[in-house]
Amino acid sequence: MMRQYLDLKAEAGDCLLFYRMGDFFELFFEDAKRAAAILDIALTSRGEHDGAPVPMCGVPVHAAENYLARLIRAGCRVAIAEQTETPEEAKARARREGTAVSKALVSRDIVRFVTAGTLTEETLLEPRRANVLAAIAELRGTFGVASCDISTGRMEMEECQPGTLASILARIGASEVVAAEDRDVPFDAVTRPPGDFSSDAGERALKAAHGVATLDGFGQFTRPMLAAAGGLLAYLDHAGRGSMPLLLPPVVRRSDGFLGMDEATRASLEILSSHRGGRAGSLIAAIDRCVTGAGARLLADDLAAPLAERAPIEARLALVDHVHADPLLRGDLRNLLRGLPDIGRALGRLVAGRGSPRDLGQLRDGLGEARRVGDLLRDRPDPPALLNTLLPDLAGHAELTDLLARALVPSPPTERQSGGYIAAEYDHALDDLREVSGNARRAIAAMEARYRDETGIGSLKIKHNGVLGYFIEVPARHADALMTSDSGFTHRQTMASAVRFNSLRLHEEASRIAEAGGRALAAEEAHFEELVETVAARAEPIARTAAAVARLDVVAGQAERASEGEWCRPVITEDTALAIREGRHPVVEAALVSSGERFVANDCTLSQADRLWLVGGPNMGGKSTFLRQNALIVLMAQAGGFVPAASATIGLVDQLFSRVGASDNLARGRSTFMVEMVETAAILQQAGPRSFVILDEVGRGTSTYDGLALAWAVAEAIHETNRSRCLFATHYHEMARLAETCPALSLHHVRAKEWKGDLVLLHELAAGAADRSYGLAVAKLAGVPSAVVARARSVLQKLEKGRAETGGLAAGLGELPLFAAAAEAEEKECDAVRERLAALDVDTLSPREALDLLYVLKREAGED
């Protein structure tokens, strides 16, 4: 057995090997140690190998999917080695081969590799997140990218230059990336033989997968695209051990048709996940009102890849507007959609050979409900063009749904080994077999009664177990009566208090029951395979129906969210204007609303004559929120949804850039300031007149003079060279002088004021430069000790005086005794309080006067 295991482990490579032994998957050696630590299960041992105990752990086969999910989340890949013959077949093979039957080893083989990008099982997938596998190939300096979600069959191919590969992979959000082992890629990837990434092999594989002689009907594919497709399909063939999943015709994705965003921008805007990880706090969490998993996945795709062409954006907006304008229609539509199963993923499992009767039932119910959705939307007055495009995909499949309705029971099971999922009257021969099997209890009961009468043993029973099958059992004191040769009973087993027998009649009846049951299971299995073949033959139109349902769910969800928040339909133009009135940040507003607070809306109007806004004001005043909300409004508009504003006119943006927040990348040897400069460099090298850029605190990661110089130069470059629409937040007041030399730059600030020593943040944007940064006031608001704030105020006064007199920033700092000013001020305050307390006649104070005095002292202490 160990030799067989080691041979399979060599084939599995760096994957954990699940080795099937009866009702368990066992792991050995280092695999066992690693899996036991991840799964928190017992690590034991079995026998010895090379004189040392063999570490072992195992998981039950019936619960394997739960354990697989945890291993995949931990970054593991798993090879499944199943028994490919029964013990009886192994013994028969041993006899044929002339080997010892007692040592016959059941054959095993790896039937599948379970990896992050090749999952189809419902329990292993997140319903509201796509699961994408991507392959990359490089030919003569150009990259091809092929990606697919095998749970639904969607496949896309595109081409890019090395500088944009990272942003494409960030947009795709692949669970797993495959690359040739002779290529040096700057990210984690599963490496495969270079021969898999052949453009000729990729072309042949695509033709074979779709049964066509030419790919011209699918689009124009470049050699790098085909090479990537070759690597993708070779990996799927390897993972499935020759069983290919559902693959729909590949779609060529044009980069110029979508809003460009690099990885840093996506992370900064927290589109699909927040900085803390997960959906909570992200844009999609704030706007997702989809009622199906497929709709949520499509919404995520829309937000990850907004459009950059006016016509398709307007088509989406028109349909959202159509549903938004009719609340009754919207409610009925969402109620229908809420009951739909995930048609696309059920189809994917069936075509991949991993489906169940329940998946067939989901197709039956889902396709039937999709037809009802189509009936609801058909014959609407002034239907948008996109609705007319979707309706035909909702109308078909009547023949298939009728077949599935006749063939399946109302609630098919998830397992098919035990049968019971083919409906009565679908197959009369099957009904007869079931009747025989179903009448077994009555037949056995009648035989038991007959034997009791014949033997006179009232305690005789006919029982069944998995080892002996059916048998007759009597108490030990009655066994002698059945032991005689003419009794008609054959002794099988003696127990402590009972003896078990067989009989010819019981054997014949048990054989008839078993045969009928086996034939019934075989008949159901044959029907299942026929139904799956019928479904697979209609895979593409079923997938189009699933896509239409998902799009309608996105549209209805967008309309619902717009109605909740009083959002507006944006106006999309071909110029470079950006006019947002009373814009809000959808995530921040949702958080404030939940706590009973109000979000302060602000306007943003950029044009060719006023395309660069320099925004000043205190930290926590709302600068970053203002910058991000306008970027998100652009993104949401071009994704085809309504936006959180009173009105919005969006001149099409081709690339969106965000340099907001401080972070490092120590794993790649980059400090916070280095990361800031890398991201800034990318913007300066790529942004153009149709781009929208938000920059926050450029230069803050280095010395004051260096930082100011960099921020100044970057602002000038954005204004003069890139000529992009840009919101630039900064604390450097000196940059206000740029307005004198940059005609398209205007000055703005977030308003704040100090009241009785406290900073009041108004979160309102106003024209003009900020008068100061309010840094010390913010520090006090944050809870910095008053002595430290007082010391900082003394240092600031000295700095400002030194700069005014000598031009040197740090002039005269050596004259400041450590905390002297703070200590002196604090002592004077204490003396004043002591004097007031000493002058009080406590005995003459009324309770009300004492309480008022405490309030006064507390307020004064807070101001100080």
Distance in angstroms (rounded) separating the CA atoms of residues 588 and 627: 13
CB 239 within 8 A of CB 115: yes
- Give first-to-last CA distance, the chain, whole Å: 80
Give the whole-angstrom CA distance, residue 316 versus residue 305: 14
In whole angstroms, what is the distance from residue 462 CA to residue 487 CA? Answer: 17
Two structure tokens written together for 278: 């997960």
Of 307, 35, 69, 59, the C-alpha closest to 171 is: 307
Pick from 200, 183, 204: nearest CA to 192:
183
What is the biggest distance separating any 2 CA atoms in the chain, rounded to whole angstroms? 127
Two structure tokens written together for 842: 């406590």
What residues form the annotated binding site for ATP? 617-624
DSSP 721: I
Give the H or E element holding residue 177.
strand 176-180
Tokens of 539: 């895979």
Write the DSSP assignment of 227-272 as a string of letters.
Answer: HHHHHHHHHHHHHTTT-----PPPEEPPGGGB-EE-HHHHHHHTSS
**Residue 767 — φ and ψ, nearest 5°?**
-75, 150
Residues 6+ apart with CB under 8 A from 441: none
Q: Which residues are annotated as a binding site?
A: 617-624
Residue 198's alpha-carbon distances to 179, 180, 228, 233, in angstroms, are 12, 10, 8, 11
Is 711 exposed, middle or buried (CB count within 10 Å of its CB: 0-12, 13-18, 19+)? buried
- What kind and span of H or E run contains 81? strand 78-83
Give the whole-angstrom CA distance, residue 444 versus residue 452.
Answer: 12
Structure tokens at 447: 């035989």
Q: What is the separation of C-alpha 801 from the centre of its chain, rounded to a whole number of angstroms?
A: 55
CA distance 266 to 269: 5
Q: Which helix (H) or strand (E) holds 603?
A: strand 602-606
Cβ atoms of 547 and 152 within 8 Å: the answer is no
What is 518-560 written as a DSSP string? Answer: HHHHHHHHHHHHHHHHHHHHTHHHHHHHHHHHHHHHHHHHHHH
Q: Are 692 and 653 within 8 A, CB to CB?
A: yes
Cα separation, 16 vs 59, whole angstroms: 13
Residue 633 CA, distance from chain mean position:
22
Return d(Cα 269, Cα 284) in angstroms, integer.
11
- The answer to whether 384 and 155 are in contact (CB under 8 A) is no
Give the other-Cβ count within 10 Å of 789's Cβ.
15
- Pick from 453, 454, 474: which is nearest to 462 by CA? 474
Distances 808 to 702, 707, 710 between C-alpha atoms, Å = 18, 16, 19
CA 622/CA 752 separation, integer angstroms: 10
55 three-class SS: strand
Q: Identify the sign of the CA torsion 171, 176, 180, 184.
A: positive
Dump strand ranges (E) for 466-530: 469-475, 489-494, 498-503
Give the pairing of strands 469-475 and 176-180. Answer: unpaired
